[in-house]
A and B are shown apart, each in its own frame.
Chain A
Amino acid sequence: MSTIAETAPRDQARRRARVDGWRWGGRVFLVVMLLYTALPMIWMLLTSIKSGFAAMQFPPQWWPDEPTLASYQKLLDPQNSVGQDFLRFFWNSLFVSTVTTILSVIVAVPAAYAFSRFSFPGRNFLFFAVLLRNMFPAVIFLVPLFILMRLLGLVNTPYSLVLTYLTFGLPLSIWLLKGFFDNIPIQLEQAARIDGATRFQAFIMIVMPLSTPGIIATAIYSFIGAWNEYIYAYTFLNKNDQLTLPVGIQRFFSENTTDFPGLMAASFMMSVPVVVLFLVLQKYFVRALTEGAVKH
């Protein structure tokens, strides 16, 4: 008895020390990661409220002497040409991304469900074939897809991008959603079908609500992918009034002198929809990535 009583607390203390060591290491790591990801954003924000002159100073002004919202006013003012362009690009991006997202959910949900629930000839082959596209760098398909889009008469229309982003986003969406459907016990659907639902009703009323986190995660993934894509948008669209934000913002560079505060303000506003989406749907997204399942 006495030996146990003597050794136990010391043992515990040592174990706690080790746990604390790991915990502190983890915290330091998180802080480093936080700075690494947040500092560029903060710098972007700070630059966006400087004057053009202050942004170019060296050594840099860590904190703007005369903060100004002039860049934002310029970008959001439909009266001047910069504002007109920016708002049009913004709208184009929103349109392409939203249509891509909606279509990708409409296609991915039934496709993933079919892969998850039905057995049909060539199921495994098809499932991996879906992934084939992702095994190559996206640029490889640039020229072939451009030729294809020209044949289809879609060059210089947003639909060329919608189609392209769909083919890029769908594989992962289908994989992600299939994982979700796999984790929903098939007995739930069977119960619903016995309770009086058709197969489709069972899917809509029982399976869909349970896989909402997965569907939302998939939608966010598609949206962000489409929202940020640059190289295809740059290749497929030439007309100024068709450009999406990533390409449009790049225009700020190509003019004679780079308007850094303007560029940063535009970049910041471009990240707003993504951040808002993320914050609003964050709890679903995190649940989707960590859990990916319905508990019973």
Chain B
Amino acid sequence: MAQVTLSDVNKAYGSTYAVNAVSLTVEHGEFVALVGPSGCGKTTTLNLIAGLIPLSSGEITIGDRVVTDLDPKDRDIAMVFQNYALYPQKSVYKNLAFPLQMRKLPKDEIDKKVRAAAAVLDITHLLERRPRELSGGQQQRVALGRALVRDPAVFLMDEPLSNLDAKLRVQMRSEIKRFHHNLDATIIYVTHDQLEAVTMADKMAVMNGGLLQQYDTPANVFAKPINTFVASFVGSPAMSLIPVEAVAKGGETVLKGAGGWELPLSAVNQRKAQRSTSGKIVLGARHSTLQLHRTASPGAVPGKVYTVEPTGDVTFAQIFVDDAVVNISLDPSVIIQPDEPVWIEFDQDRMHLFDGETTMALEAA
């Protein structure tokens, strides 16, 4: 049983925190993605778990052992690196055998395990080659093989797919998912690509500026983003965010745009809007929840078409509402032109309201 727990983990470089008070628990057999933009602290967090860099404060446990001060070699982990980090002077066979040799296993047992791992990953025919003679996808498999040959408690993966071309990436994505399923392995996976996180992980930890923003299942993160950062980071195209103000009008609370338009709210959404102490609100909506109207209609806000991107089965349009860009998906049969005036209708049940000051999601409570 290898549960991984981070309790109040900090990593400071001088006065800047690369990782700031991160606490999370990865259950045994879970696939957790650490996701966020460059420099958000996700790789640093992974290196802290691996023991490659020391913590400034906090505690990390793997299984029932506190590993905070243990060497990487004593943590019973395996890691797959972005650049694969295969030993260039060793053959594939020796790359796979290295972790076992370091653990002083008998030769015949090493041979058995190396060949078993090679068979699982379909790289048996490559065993005598050097890493530089392999393609990117093959190197990736060898790197995975070197991780799994030892049967570690936890797999750490640092952007393992980002050096592959787009097609191979999709293929390896499903292979890693399958790998997780077959091995019942605990995997902590770092990526900057929210799509990888959403498609592969059981849970995703969204990080920004060293802080853990939200830690939940991809479905929950997608449906209930905790703040505007998570809202705009997860999902493609990104959630549209429009800064508005909550104003009282005839006993009701309505949203008022910078351009003067007003949007009436449902009862639940009114209660949410009232919780913003400053009255400033960010209105969020995903592209698929929006309705496009070509004439003014009640409950719709005015905008102007900026670009139209047909992709075949769905057409994406970017529409300016005041100064905010709103992404909307349309049926390909709908033909609109840039600069055309349009009206956008929001789905009251699936719109998001965030506090304009704190950026946190507003709850009806």
Q: Do A and B come from one complex?
A: yes
Q: With both chains docked as a complex, state the minimum distance between the C-beta of A204 and any C-beta of chain B, in angstroms.
A: 12
Q: With both chains docked as a complex, state the minimum distance between the C-beta of A67 and any C-beta of chain B, in angstroms.
A: 48
B 86-104 to A, binary, CB cutoff 8 A, 1 in contact else 0: 0111000000001100110
A 56-100 to B, binary, CB cutoff 8 A, 1 in contact else 0: 000000000000000000000000000000000000000000000
Q: With both chains docked as a complex, state the minimum distance between the C-beta of A134 and any C-beta of chain B, in angstroms.
A: 32
**Alpha-carbon gap, A195 to B72, bound state (A):** 8
Q: With both chains docked as a complex, state the minimum distance between the C-beta of A209 and any C-beta of chain B, in angstroms.
A: 5
Q: With both chains docked as a complex, state the minimum distance between the C-beta of B122 and any C-beta of chain A, in angstroms.
A: 22
Q: Say whether, besides A191-B81, A295-B132, A210 and B71 are in contact (CB < 8 Å).
A: no
Contact of B85 among A191, A198, A295 (CB under 8 A): A191
A296 contacts B by Cβ under 8 Å: yes
**Alpha-carbon gap, A124 to B76, bound state (A):** 36
Q: Say whether, besides A188-B85, A210-B88, A210-B89, A194 and B79 are in contact (CB < 8 Å).
A: yes
A187 contacts B by Cβ under 8 Å: yes
A195 and B146 contact, CB distance less than 8 A = yes
> Which A residues are CB-close (under 8 A) to B82?
187
A296 and B83 contact, CB distance less than 8 A = yes
Q: Say whether, besides A195-B73, A196-B102, A197-B73, A190 and B89 are in contact (CB < 8 Å).
A: no
B114 contacts A by Cβ under 8 Å: no
> Which A residues are CB-close (under 8 A) to B67?
none
A294 contacts B by Cβ under 8 Å: yes
Which A residues from 159 to 183 make CB contacts under 8 A with B? none
A188 and B87 contact, CB distance less than 8 A = yes
B88 and A198 contact, CB distance less than 8 A = no
Q: With both chains docked as a complex, state the minimum distance between the C-beta of A286 and any C-beta of chain B, in angstroms.
A: 19
> Which B residues are CB-close (under 8 A) to A193?
52, 71-73
A110 contacts B by Cβ under 8 Å: no
A185 contacts B by Cβ under 8 Å: yes
Q: With both chains docked as a complex, state the minimum distance between the C-beta of B43 and any C-beta of chain A, in angstroms.
A: 11
Q: Which residue of B lies closest to A187 (CB)?
A: B85
Q: With both chains docked as a complex, state the minimum distance between the C-beta of A20 and any C-beta of chain B, in angstroms.
A: 34
A192 contacts B by Cβ under 8 Å: yes
**Alpha-carbon gap, A158 to B244, bound state (A):** 84
A192 and B83 contact, CB distance less than 8 A = no
> Which A residues are CB-close (under 8 A) to B98?
192, 195
> Which A residues are CB-close (under 8 A) to B79?
190-191, 194
B77 contacts A by Cβ under 8 Å: yes
Q: Say whether, besides A191-B79, A296-B132, A197 and B102 are in contact (CB < 8 Å).
A: yes
> Which A residues are CB-close (under 8 A) to B40?
none
**Alpha-carbon gap, A187 to B88, bound state (A):** 12
Contact of B88 among A190, A192, A194, A294 (CB under 8 A): A294
Q: With both chains docked as a complex, state the minimum distance between the C-beta of A150 and any C-beta of chain B, in angstroms.
A: 48
Q: Which residue of B lies closest to A195 (CB)?
A: B99
A195 and B132 contact, CB distance less than 8 A = no
Which A residues from 214 to 252 make CB contacts under 8 A with B? none
**Alpha-carbon gap, A71 to B187, bound state (A):** 75
> Which A residues are CB-close (under 8 A) to B150?
195
> Which A residues are CB-close (under 8 A) to B81?
187, 190-191
Q: With both chains docked as a complex, state the minimum distance between the C-beta of A222 and any C-beta of chain B, in angstroms.
A: 24
> Which A residues are CB-close (under 8 A) to B52?
190, 193-194
B102 and A195 contact, CB distance less than 8 A = yes
B77 and A194 contact, CB distance less than 8 A = yes
A190 and B50 contact, CB distance less than 8 A = yes
B77 and A187 contact, CB distance less than 8 A = no
> Which B residues are CB-close (under 8 A) to A198?
71, 73
Q: With both chains docked as a complex, state the minimum distance between the C-beta of A289 and any C-beta of chain B, in angstroms.
A: 20
A206 contacts B by Cβ under 8 Å: yes
B83 and A185 contact, CB distance less than 8 A = yes
**Alpha-carbon gap, A196 to B99, bound state (A):** 6
Most buried by B among A193, A194, A196, A295: A194
B185 contacts A by Cβ under 8 Å: no
A196 and B85 contact, CB distance less than 8 A = no
> Which A residues are CB-close (under 8 A) to B99?
195-196
Contact of A190 among B72, B75, B103, B132 (CB under 8 A): B72
Q: With both chains docked as a complex, state the minimum distance between the C-beta of B115 and any C-beta of chain A, in angstroms.
A: 18
Q: With both chains docked as a complex, state the minimum distance between the C-beta of A193 and any C-beta of chain B, in angstroms.
A: 4
B103 and A194 contact, CB distance less than 8 A = no
Q: With both chains docked as a complex, state the minimum distance between the C-beta of B106 and any C-beta of chain A, in angstroms.
A: 15
Q: Which residue of B lies closest to A209 (CB)?
A: B89
**Alpha-carbon gap, A206 to B150, bound state (A):** 19
> Which A residues are CB-close (under 8 A) to B87?
188, 191-192, 206
Q: With both chains docked as a complex, state the minimum distance between the C-beta of A202 and any C-beta of chain B, in angstroms.
A: 9
> Which A residues are CB-close (under 8 A) to B47?
190
> Which B residues are CB-close (under 8 A) to A296?
83, 88, 131-132
> Which B residues are CB-close (under 8 A) to A196?
73, 99, 102-103
**Alpha-carbon gap, A32 to B5, bound state (A):** 70
> Which B residues are CB-close (under 8 A) to A201?
102
B83 and A187 contact, CB distance less than 8 A = yes
B148 contacts A by Cβ under 8 Å: no
**Alpha-carbon gap, A295 to B88, bound state (A):** 8
B78 contacts A by Cβ under 8 Å: yes
Most buried by B among A191, A209, A210: A191
> Which A residues are CB-close (under 8 A) to B131?
296
> Which A residues are CB-close (under 8 A) to B50?
190, 194
14 CB-based A-B contacts, threshold 8 Å: A188-B87, A190-B50, A190-B81, A191-B81, A194-B52, A195-B150, A196-B99, A196-B103, A197-B73, A198-B71, A206-B87, A209-B89, A295-B88, A295-B132
Task: Enumerate the 10 nearest inter-chain pairs by beta-carbon distance, A residue then B residue, closest first.
Answer: A196-B102, A187-B85, A195-B99, A191-B85, A193-B72, A196-B73, A187-B81, A194-B72, A194-B79, A190-B52
